Amino acid sequence: MRALIQRVSHASVTVEGKTISSIGKGLLILLGVGHGDGEEQANFLAEKIANLRIFEDEQGKTNLSVLDVKGEAIVVSQFTLYADASRGRRPGFTDAALPEVAAPLVTRFVELLRSHNVPTQTGQFGAHMLVEIHNDGPVTIWLEK
């Protein structure tokens, strides 16, 4: 399981012209599910992300988590995090889990993040989404389990 985390001042997800998720200060999490991923990976990443200290304190040091700043999160399923562009010019996605495996695991990850008291919204699995990201910093973190 792979997560690309961006610290945001604002983020939103729009599907077919309708905004389905919108947050202020918090995290935009692009989440990819690979073959063999399961509950262990989802648990690890949810706990890690909820407590990841990437927000600045009063001294400007990154000592605070999304929980500390009372931020929110949006989770967007992103199979393209498993792109393999090592050969040719067209990426392959065979390392990404099939939708029937990935969708329930993305939902489970969202449940686990919420269980850590992070208010969490989502994109729409499998939809064409417009994701607006106001990356704060910019701060972008790659996590993998």
Q: Among 122, 76, 82, 116, which residue's Cα sits nearest to residue 98?
A: 82
120 neighbors 108 (Cβ within 8 angstroms): no
Q: Which domains does the chain have, with CATH numbers?
A: 2-144 (3.50.80.10)
The whole-number pLDDT of residue 113 equals 98
Verify whether residue 79 is a known catalytic residue: yes
| Residue 102 falls in which region: left (phi positive, over 0), alpha (psi -120 to 50) or beta | alpha
Supply the pTM of this predicted model: 0.95
- Catalytic residue, candidates 55, 79, 121, 122: 79
pLDDT of residue 97: 97
Catalytic residue among 6, 78, 120, 121: 78
| β 120-122/130-144 pair status | unpaired
Q: How confident is the model at residue 80 (pLDDT cuts 50, 70, 90)?
A: very high
d(CA 40, CA 145): 9
Per-residue pLDDT of 35-63, as tens digits, reads 999 999 999 999 999 999 999 999 999 99
